[in-house]
């Protein structure tokens, strides 16, 4: 480790020989030789560290010097230098293993290399060596590395991370979504929703997570395996009876996407007669109407190909017309379920029957039935409204 010493170096050499345990002398010497060849600077660092092996500042500067020389270079072509730099990190951490910045610098250096296993082991060692208060800094780099690697490594790392930070489970959901791992994303969401004590660090409500799960099940149903989609969605509907509109719509769309038109219609019918809020009704009814319009369009396209209008097309048109005619009564049902003691709601309901009774396009029998329903509506209102 000998180097050539010039006349300008003599004063600095005398100072470090006279006071080898004084940091300032070594720093002045290093600053003087900052433009010297790389090997010369490295030798001075090594001499300084033999005298001051516990100096964090010297190690930090030396490791920065070595990693800087390898920046932008192929680690396979410079494998000897890479290995020497790794050994320098190991030597530094023998005494300074509680210094988070050295571990982070080591992880950054290892991430550039092509060895996934050794990089992962350095991250694991950093977590074991550092206090818990410093783990967040390590995890940020560890997760970026795992996401870059992907596959089994990413899921293994996330599993460990979520044992310590369960409130960050949505980060795993986002990772699975970005990599189109729909089965893993669904499993992650189900685990979160099954955890009654889960509190999202992002402030996401449980209902918001259910809507996200329903979206995945609906849109990527063909990519999922082993999931009872209807059972999962109905579980969410049961938990959020007052906010179930989006989940009902997703369930109906899922059945439609599976090609089961009649089952989808049954689901929509069940939804419009069971939702409890006007907002949910509007959402479900719009989805129901779009579904019926899509079935009519499909039948018309089929008829064009055959060159004639079929019975199924006429039936679909009648179903769509009846649905649109029922909208006012269905909305009234929802309003009364939501506010059963509202006088105005009952009067609006009776007004719907009165308008139907006055409709000259209906038969006498239909108008008479409408009048009977108006009287029955008033009777139901008297029984339901609290006189207080």
DSSP string, 44-70: HHHHHHHH-TT-HHHHHHHHHHHHHHH
Q: Would you say 52 and 94 are in contact if contact means Cβ atoms under 8 Å apart?
A: no
pLDDT at position 94 over 90: yes
Quickly state the pLDDT bin for 350 (edges 50, 70, 90): confident
Percentage of the chain beyond pLDDT 90 is 45
Q: Using 50, 70 and 90 to split pLDDT, how confident is the model at 48?
A: very high
Residue closest to 230 by CA, chosen among 260, 254, 209: 254
- Higher-pLDDT residue of 240 and 87 is 87
pLDDT band at 146 (very low <50, low <70, confident <90, very high): very high
Task: Work out the percent of the chain whose per-residue pLDDT is above 70.
Answer: 97
Each residue of 306-329: pLDDT tens digit?
766 667 788 888 888 888 888 888
Q: Are 151 and 131 in contact (CB under 8 A)?
A: no
Q: What is the mean pLDDT of the chain?
A: 88
Classify burial at 197, counting beta carbons within 10 Å of its beta carbon; exposed 0-12, middle 13-18, buried 19 or more. exposed
Residue that has been written with the tokens 């209008």 in this structure: 309
Q: What pLDDT was estimated at residue 309?
A: 67
Contacts of 300 (CB under 8 A, 6+ apart): 313
Buried b (16+ CB within 10 A) or exposed e, 261-295: bebbbebbeebbebbebeebbebbbebbeebbeeb
Confidence check: pLDDT of 177 > 90: yes
**What is the reported pTM?**
0.76
- Under the banding of pLDDT at 50, 70 and 90, the label for residue 224 is confident
Whether 1 shows a pLDDT value over 70: the answer reads: no
Average pLDDT over every residue of 353-359 = 83
- What is the pLDDT at residue 104? 96
pLDDT of residue 11 exceeding 90: no
Q: Is 146 exposed, middle or buried (0-12, 13-18, 19+ CB in 10 A)?
A: buried
For residues 216-242, average pLDDT: 86
C-alpha to C-alpha distance for 168 and 289, rounded to whole angstroms: 39
Sorted by sequence, the CB contacts under 8 Å of residue 137 that are 6+ apart come out as 100, 104
Burial 348-379 (b: 16+ CB within 10 A, else e): bbbebbbebbeeeeeeeeebeebeebbeebee
Tell me how far apart the alpha carbons of residues 69 and 88 are, in angstroms, rounded to a whole number.
14
């Amino acid at each position: 480790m000998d180097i050539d010493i010039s006349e300008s170096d003599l004063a600095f050499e005398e100072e470090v020989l006279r006071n080898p345990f004084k940091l300032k002398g070594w720093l002045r010497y290093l600053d003087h030789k900052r433009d010297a060849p790389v090997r010369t600077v490295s030798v001075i660092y090594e001499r300084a560290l033999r005298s001051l092996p516990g100096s964090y500042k010297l190690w930090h500067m030396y490791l920065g010097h070595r990693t800087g020389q390898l920046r932008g270079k192929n680690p396979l072509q410079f494998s000897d230098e890479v290995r020497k730099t790794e050994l320098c990190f190991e030597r530094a951490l023998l005494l300074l293993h509680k210094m988070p910045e050295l571990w982070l610098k080591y992880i950054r250096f290892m991430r550039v290399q092509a060895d996934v296993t050794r990089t992962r082991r350095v991250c694991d060692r950093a977590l074991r060596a550092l206090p818990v208060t410093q783990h967040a800094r390590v995890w940020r780099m560890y997760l970026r590395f795992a996401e870059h690697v992907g596959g089994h490594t990413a899921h293994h790392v996330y599993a460990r991370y979520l044992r310590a930070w369960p409130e960050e489970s949505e980060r795993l959901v986002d990772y699975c979504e970005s990599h189109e791992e729909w089965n893993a994303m669904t499993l992650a969401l189900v685990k979160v929703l099954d955890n009654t004590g889960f509190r999202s660090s992002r402030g996401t409500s449980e209902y918001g997570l259910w809507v996200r799960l329903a979206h995945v099940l609906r849109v990527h149903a063909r990519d999922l395996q082993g999931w009872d989609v209807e059972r999962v969605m109905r579980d969410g509907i049961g938990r959020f009876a007052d906010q179930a509109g989006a989940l009902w719509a997703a369930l109906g769309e899922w059945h439609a996407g599976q090609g089961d038109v009649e089952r989808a219609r049954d689901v929509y019918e069940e939804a419009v007669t069971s939702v409890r809020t006007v907002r949910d009704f509007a959402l479900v009814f719009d989805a129901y109407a779009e579904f019926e319009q899509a079935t009519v369009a499909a039948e018309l396209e089929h008829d064009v190909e055959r060159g004639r209008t079929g019975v199924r097309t006429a039936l679909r048109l009648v179903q769509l017309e009846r649905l649109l005619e029922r909208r006012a009564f269905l909305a009234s049902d929802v309003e009364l379920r939501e506010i059963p003691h509202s006088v105005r709601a009952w009067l609006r309901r009776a007004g719907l029957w009165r308008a139907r009774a006055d409709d000259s396009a209906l038969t006498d029998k239909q108008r008479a039935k409408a009048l009977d329903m108006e009287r029955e509506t008033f009777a139901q209102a008297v029984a339901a409204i609290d006189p207080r």
